Amino acid sequence: MEKKRLNIIGISNSQTQSGAYALILGETNGKRRLPIIIGGYEAQAIAIELEHVKPNRPLTHDLFKNFALSYNITIKEVVINRFFEGIFYAKMLCVDKNGEKEIDARTSDAIALAVRFRCKIYTYESILSAAGIIMEDKIVKKSKTKDTELSEKTQNNFVDLSKKELEALLMNSVDQEDYEKASQIRDEIKKRDKKRKKK
């Protein structure tokens, strides 16, 4: 399967989950974004390294890096290799004098280590197609009144909305850069599509 290179676009606060964050990954030379909900500790670990902040004592991911380098082990790349029921899975390709070995990891941990080892992050086209959110060059602005009504009507409960309304709400969430809500709507649309296929 062809791998797609990803870059870290940013990290934003979760609007619905206390202590959670949305890590936004974007495909290289593409418009799709992959929003991944991660914990506060992992968000801090990624942000600290991206901002070149040196803590007084090594964090867990720094300790892992120091330990690995002491034994001449490096991480060559990180691959987000699975997306199932709203959860992303990843693997790290590690290299030492004996060769290469793949190790399973939580996506947030794998990315926290990827930024420390300065290695590339990838995923597969199938995952980008299933979980990616497309960023258009020109997004048509919708009526604020209509968006507000739709937002109040849902309050993060999408059961009563049609697929067309969900798609409109998805575009609005992307427009507002509310990637966490966009990922929830995306998952609801995928869930419905899956149910429709089974019938």
Domains of the chain: 3-131 (3.10.690.10), 139-198 (no CATH)
pLDDT (0 to 100) of residue 16: 62
Phi-psi region of 143 (alpha: psi -120 to 50; beta: other; left: phi over 0): beta
Neighbours of 178 (CB within 10 A): 18
Q: What percent of the chain has pLDDT over 90?
A: 45
Structure tokens at 2: 């062809």
3 state DSSP class of 29? coil
pLDDT (0 to 100) of residue 144: 38
* Cα of 96 vs its chain's centroid, Å: 28
Place of tokens 């693997």: 91
Interatomic CA distance for residues 141 and 43, integer angstroms:
31
What dihedral angle (degrees, nearest 10) is formed by the CA atoms of 111, 26, 179, 42? 10
pLDDT tens for 87-137 read: 999 999 999 999 999 999 999 999 999 999 999 999 999 999 989 888 754
pTM of the model: 0.70
pLDDT (0 to 100) of residue 160: 73
What average pLDDT does this structure show over 21-43?
A: 91
pLDDT at 181 > cutoff 70: yes
pLDDT tens for 135-150 read: 754 333 333 334 444 4
pLDDT (0 to 100) of residue 150: 44
Q: 145 exposed, middle or buried (CB, 10 Å; 0-12, 13-18, 19+)?
A: exposed
**Long-range own/partner contacts, residues 154-162 (CB < 8 A, 24 or more apart):** 156/16, 156/181, 156/184, 158/184, 158/185, 158/188
pLDDT at 163 > cutoff 90: no
pLDDT tens for 52-91 read: 888 888 889 999 999 999 999 999 999 999 999 889 999 9
pLDDT at 30 > cutoff 50: yes
